[in-house]
Structure 1
């Protein structure tokens, strides 16, 4: 139950326009945030290429969000429709996510923050550092399927652990705040992982 007198928190969702990111936002809106919280959408841009430009531009008008639901029920943040096709740029998913927040929780404060992966750094480290700098209490990241099984398989084969650690795994283990990875299931529920809970099923 939501309590308007509860202490306001800062909650961060990693936003990258993917199906996993859409699931993470839906979990945040339905189970993690209250109206008096602040929800931060963090977009981590890829490093600049050798020609000085970004590989993808999240503000490109080449694509737009379609507000109709997808077959998996992910709503307006779950699907993008390209106008021109090809590599005309990345959909402006951040606006789509903000609209999703406004529709679900009109009173919720929503902020957008952006960070760039510097050369020699990885996305996971940038997310952890940015969440610490933003003083968030809860970090939510969408998790891809089969990450755990791949990590277990690699460990059994004696491969380098660093090369196998997914962004979600690194964030869970290294974040100063509580970090939860979210995998939305076909039945509408969620599979959650954190430092404290492993493979926790949450029904929608």
Structure 2
């Protein structure tokens, strides 16, 4: 996988625009009803980093980062300031933020996930790029200690317990996370005149599957 475990400067992603994207096939039947299907199980996020550029120093940093990733070749981490924690935007990360699984006496490895609820519907999003040092884990309502009870793979989002959790025990976690992305363009066009006139460069960013 062509991926660099480096984060796009968070100060530059702050102020960017973007969010989740779905792919839906809509077929209108002869009777006027619709059939809707999607080949995607998970949404894909898109952003525009260009609107967050505020100075020529920002442009210089952007170009250096772009060149180091060789355009679209290498993916990288992106902080989505509107959705980067397992808890609410104004809350602090807690070990019981998300229920990620239930123990079965056999399984030791569990994927971090974040649940999005609306009414009775729940979407479970895999979290593959947690921020190192922010992950907290609980078993049956008791917080566990990293390095003693479990380990975290920061590049995959897997939690590995030293001993498989007992059957029926609820496994919870809290964390901050990044989005795995790449540049969705192979060239960046900037000019001093247009930037001073308030025209930001177009720098599309797209989520990648890892």
TM-score category by the smaller chain? under 0.3
Task: Please identify which structure carries the higher strand content.
Answer: 2
Larger-Rg structure: 2
Task: Please identify which structure carries the higher helix content.
Answer: 1
TM-score (norm 2): 0.23
TM-score (norm 1): 0.23
